[in-house]
A and B are shown apart, each in its own frame.
Chain A
Amino acid sequence: MEDNSATKIEEEDKSSQKPEASESHAEADSHWDLDILGEGQVGRGTLMRTAMGGIALLWGGMTLYPIYSYLKPKASDKDEQTKVTSLEVCKVDELPKGSGRNFRFGSTPALVIHTPDGEIHAFKAICTHLGCTVQYRNDKDAIWCACHGGQYDSHSGKNVAGPPPKPLAPLKAEVVNGKIVVSQA
């Protein structure tokens, strides 16, 4: 808008000058020797309009960049939670066969499963579809996402049904002194 009004004023200027000062106007124009591209002389009006447009763009950028930077999440925010490499989840007795438990592994939700055949597996509980938190379902013996009905194999974390495109990210689960310890795979 500013650009427009500036252009208008410029044009009015010109027309008011025309009757008596057209000669000197042309002369003034000839001083702007900006024929860099070989496209003929650049008039003062064209130059001013282009300059105004450029300044408006620059000004817009100068305003938006700080706002964008201000709002952009900082890398330090991401590592706010301490990085975890290994974690004691619970005692084995607290997790009977055919059940699972959601827990927090550093900054990510995770899931440990005690399968009906007695194996213990752990995965990051982030659905590979749209990032919902998955859970173990005893009735299906599968890992299940409530958001869009995705299913994963409870032993391997492989995507077996529904929309998920990839298997779950695995974690390492072992039993140490009767306790389930989960660590980065």
Chain B
Amino acid sequence: MVGDTRRGNKLLGFLEERFALSTLLHLAEKKKVPIHRHSVWYYMGGIAAIYLAVQVVTGILLMVYYVPEIQSAHASILKINSQIDFGWFIRSLHSWGANLMIAVVVLHLFSTYFMKAYRRPREFTWLSGLLLLVLCMAFGFTGYLLPWDDVSFFATKIGLDVAAKTPVLGGVIADLLRGGEAISQATISRFFVIHVAVLPICLLGLLGGHLLFVQMHGMSEPDAFKNLPAPKKTYEKFFPNFFFKDILVWILALNVLFVLVMLAPWGIGPEADPFGAAPIGIKPEWYFLSMFQFLKLVPPMIGPIEGELFGILLMGIAALAFAVLPLLDQGQSKSISKLATAYGVIIAIAAIALSVWGALS
């Protein structure tokens, strides 16, 4: 093995002395992956990671030609799409990749939720994962404005106006993000900086923690597997067995992305006109659709409270419960465990139903 330098492999010896490779390899070999009928969900985090890698690479490439300036932003995307060699390809990878990544992160979220992988000692893996999803959505929201086409303009306008209705700090935060009363150059600059600098730093830090927790605690085992008698539990080694399967899954995931990019390259709408009417049929990205549809259903006034504020508060409470219930469900009581599962099912069904409704209406 790597640590065995007796056969005189000088290079390996050199590396071993400096990077303690055998320790790392030992760790990788010690890590084992439980084999059961829900094992397939163990791949979700890895798929999210490979899509993230695509976002980083394509994002850096897009920055070479994108101009975060109100007169040039739309034109620079048009140029990327039509004049730069492979520009359409890079941009489509970025846009499709962002959507696939969020889809996979959501699957990852619900699979860990229903497998109850959040139980002691993995509470912080759960919470950091939730924050990572919030970051992904923030990436989506800020990135959506940058091409400066008509839908992106109004999506940002509505998003910030909804945020402004949040009690206490909502107004201040919306103003800081918008950089003035109207969506303008200031907004583009701020969103650009957040999208390419602030969020990536936060994401890297948080993801580092998230992965570190996963390594520290090993793979989570669902109750049904954990309660099996020892001889009946089967595992496979993370390295090389699971690792090579991971690579295979990555190739499949990348192929899905490439097929989508080839069949449906990402387009761009007409340039935003801050004084024109909102385009008919305007809708947010699919991952905001359920919230959009929910807010649409809330009447303008509920008693003395403005409907929007009421809707935001209600969704805030629902989200908070989703984050906190796992901390209470530690496997000590069957009823809490069932409650957590039932709540997850309700949230999942509500989100899917509202999204479909929003997409069709």
| Pair A109/B274 contact, Cβ less than 8 Å | yes
Is B16 positioned at the interface, with any CB of A under 8 Å from its CB? no
A131 touches B157 (CB 8 A): yes
User: Which residues from B are CB-within-8-Å of A72?
Assistant: 175-176
B38: shortest Cβ distance to chain A, in Å?
39
Contact A149 B296 (CB under 8 A): yes
Contact across chains for A132 and B186 when beta carbons are under 8 A apart: no
CA A132 to CA B300, docked complex, whole Å: 16
A71, A78, A111, A132: the one within 8 Å of B158 (CB): A132
A163 within 8 A of B: yes
Distance of A139 Cα from B118 Cα, bound (Å): 54
With both chains docked as a complex, state the minimum distance between the C-beta of B212 and any C-beta of chain A, in angstroms: 18
- Smallest Cβ-Cβ distance to B165: which chain A residue: A130
A72 and B299 alpha carbons, distance in the complex (Å): 33
CB of A182 closer than 8 Å to a CB of B: no
Which A residue's beta carbon lies closest to that of B158? A130
A147 within 8 A of partner (CB): yes
Q: Which residue of A lies closest to B175 (CB)?
A: A73
Query: How far apart sit A145 and B158, CA to CA, in the bound complex (Å)?
Result: 12
> Is A146 in contact with chain B by the CB < 8 A criterion?
yes
Chain A residues with Cβ below 8 Å from B306 are 165
Binds A, one of B48-56, B233-241, B277-285: B277-285
Bitwise, A69-111 to B at CB < 8 A (1) or not (0) is 0011100011000000000000000000000001110010111
Across the interface, which residues of A come within 8 angstroms of B276, CB to CB?
Answer: 102, 109, 133
For the complex, give the distance between the alpha carbons of A109 and B273 in Å. Answer: 10
Q: Which chain A residues in 94-145 approach chain B with CB under 8 Å? A: 102-104, 107, 109-111, 125, 129-135, 145
Considering the chains assembled together, what is the distance between the CA atoms of A135 and B161 in angstroms?
19
CB contacts (< 8 Å) of A130 on chain B: these are: 157-158, 161-162, 308
Q: Is the CB of A163 within 8 A of B176?
A: no
Task: For the complex, give the distance between the alpha carbons of A176 and B229 in Å.
Answer: 91
Selected contact of B279 from candidates A68, A146, A149, A163, CB within 8 Å = A146
- A109 touching B275, Cβ below 8 Å: yes
Tell yes or no: B301 within 8 A of A by CB.
Answer: yes
CB distance from A65 to the nearest CB of B (A): 14
Count of A-B residue pairs with CB < 8 Å: 82
- Asked whether A107 lies within 8 Å of B182 as measured between CB atoms, the reply is yes
Contact of A148 among B186, B190, B281, B296 (CB under 8 A): B296
* B175-227 interface with A by 8 A CB criterion: 175-176, 178-182, 186, 190
Task: State the main secondary structure of chain A at its contact with B.
Answer: loop
A133 to B158, CA, bound (A): 10
Closest to A79 in B: B181
**A164 on interface, CB distance cutoff 8 Å:** yes
Contact, CB under 8 Å: B277 / A125: yes
Q: Which residue of A lies closest to B155 (CB)?
A: A147
Using a CB-CB cutoff of 8 Å, which residues 294-312 of chain B contact chain A?
Answer: 295-296, 298-301, 306-308
> Are A131 and B274 in contact, with the CB atoms below 8 A?
no
Residues from chain B with Cβ under 8 Å of A78 in the complex:
180-181
Q: How many Å lie between the Cα of A131 and that of B157 in the bound state? A: 7
Q: Is the CB of B178 within 8 A of A73?
A: yes
CB of B154 closer than 8 Å to a CB of A = yes
Contact A77/B154 with A102-B275, A109-B275, A146-B280 known, Cβ cut-off 8 Å: no
B73 to chain A, nearest CB (A): 19
Docked complex Cα distance between A145 and B295 (Å): 15
In the bound complex, residues from chain B placing their C-beta under 8 Å from that of A104 are: 275
Q: B residues bordering A, Cβ < 8 Å?
A: 154, 157-158, 161-162, 175-176, 178-182, 186, 190, 274-282, 295-296, 298-301, 306-308
Query: Which residues of A pack against B, CB within 8 Å?
Result: 68, 71-73, 77-78, 102-104, 107, 109-111, 125, 129-135, 145-149, 163-165
Q: What are some 23 contacts across the A-B interface (CB < 8 A)?
A: A71-B176, A71-B179, A71-B190, A73-B178, A73-B180, A78-B180, A102-B276, A103-B275, A109-B277, A111-B277, A129-B308, A131-B158, A132-B278, A134-B277, A134-B278, A135-B277, A146-B282, A147-B158, A148-B295, A148-B296, A163-B299, A163-B300, A165-B301
Seed contacts A68-B176, A163-B298; 12 additional CB < 8 Å A-B pairs: A73-B175, A73-B176, A73-B186, A77-B180, A78-B180, A109-B275, A109-B276, A110-B275, A130-B157, A130-B161, A135-B278, A147-B282
